[in-house]
Amino acid sequence: MNIRRVGIIANTGKENAAQDSLELGEWLSKRDVTVFFEEEIAGVLHGVEGFPASELPGMSDMIVVFGGDGTLLRAARAVQGHDVPILGINLGAFGFMTVVNLHEMFDTMDLILKGEYGTSKRMLLDASVHGHHFSALNDAVINRGNLSRMVNLETFVDEKYLATFKADGLIISTPTGSTAYSLSTGGPIVFPELDSMIITPICPHTLTNRPIVVPPESSVRVVLFTREEGATVTLDGQDSLVMKSGDAVTITKSRHSIDLVVSPNRDYMEVLRGKLGWGGMP
């Protein structure tokens, strides 16, 4: 794809994020690339016109994100339904999706403008609960919230009963989300291009309750049973809805997907080694 229009989104709560965005914008403008800044950046930088994040994908050939994985997840929600790749620039936080470091930014963009870049297609989840519909790049989490005791989560795959998990919660994640919350609760790492859904219990009462990977065509339905109030379902850590006993969450693969620009300097195995501190070659 010929990149002539770039939208920029940034976590302006991070030091210098807005200024870094401006520097990239000026660099791109000198190369006859039209730049659109998110309104959050414009609120920090004087004299810069800003646009809602939801409008940027329709105006751009690529979205560049300054921040960590949380900022990229926010951008992914805006890009959903648009054929616009996302490039994540890591500002020092622990990020699996923001794989280009700040000092690599200009060299990477130079390759991109020459058309010398690749993308990784990532599946999304659709989740519905009593009339509300959400999408997620990482995961849907049913959590006991502020409850003092475990909840019971009756779980079905393609309407066939799997198990009732007595636990603090349940995570249904994409392969992209397998290195997020699911990983911290003992879930497997799944290569991001391998479409599937990972069901991972959070602190289960029964130690034999283990994570399970199901095909992407599956439909996962989870019914909450609890005697207390306060349980929630949360999508990508950003959209949250309070649940009550008897509520069901249905999760399927979305018909939409997201394209993430891959680093020209390291492959996925190197990203894993670097982020997780694994040993290299002896």
pLDDT digit string (tens) for 39-81?
A: 999 999 988 999 999 999 999 999 999 999 999 999 999 999 8
C-alpha closest to that of 127 among 259, 223, 221 = 221
Q: Are residues 184 and 267 in the same domain?
A: no
Q: How far apart are CA 177 and CA 195, in angstroms?
A: 11
Q: Which domain holds residue 27?
A: 5-118+262-276
Q: How far apart are CA 122 and CA 152, in angstroms?
A: 31
* Residue 267 forms part of a structural domain: yes
C-alpha closest to that of 123 among 181, 61, 80 = 80
Does position 281 have pLDDT exceeding 70, yes or no? no
* Residue 111 forms part of a structural domain: yes
pLDDT digits (tens, 9 = 90+) for 164-223: 999 999 999 999 999 999 999 999 999 998 999 999 999 999 989 999 999 999 999 999
Q: Are residues 20 and 132 in the same domain?
A: no
Q: Are residues 129 and 222 in the same domain?
A: yes
* Residue 282 forms part of a structural domain: no
* Residue 281 forms part of a structural domain: no
Amino acid letter, residue 107? D
Q: Are residues 73 and 170 in the same domain?
A: no
Q: Are residues 135 and 96 in the same domain?
A: no
* Residue 133 forms part of a structural domain: yes
Q: Are residues 146 and 231 in the same domain?
A: yes
pLDDT digits (tens, 9 = 90+) for 206-233: 989 999 999 999 999 999 999 888 899 9
Q: Are residues 72 and 132 in the same domain?
A: no
Q: What is the pLDDT of residue 265?
A: 86
Q: How many domains does the chain have?
A: 2
Q: Are residues 205 and 136 in the same domain?
A: yes
Q: How far apart are CA 137 and CA 153, in angstroms?
A: 22
Q: Are residues 93 and 197 in the same domain?
A: no
CATH number of 176's domain: 2.60.200.30
Q: Are residues 133 and 113 in the same domain?
A: no
Contact indicator for 275, 97 with CB cutoff of 8 Å: no
Q: Which residues contact 51 (CB under 8 A, 6 or more apart)?
A: 7, 36, 37, 38, 39, 59
Residue numbers annotated as active site: 69
* Residue 212 forms part of a structural domain: yes
Q: Are residues 140 and 114 in the same domain?
A: no
Q: Are residues 159 and 89 in the same domain?
A: no
CATH number of 106's domain: 3.40.50.10330
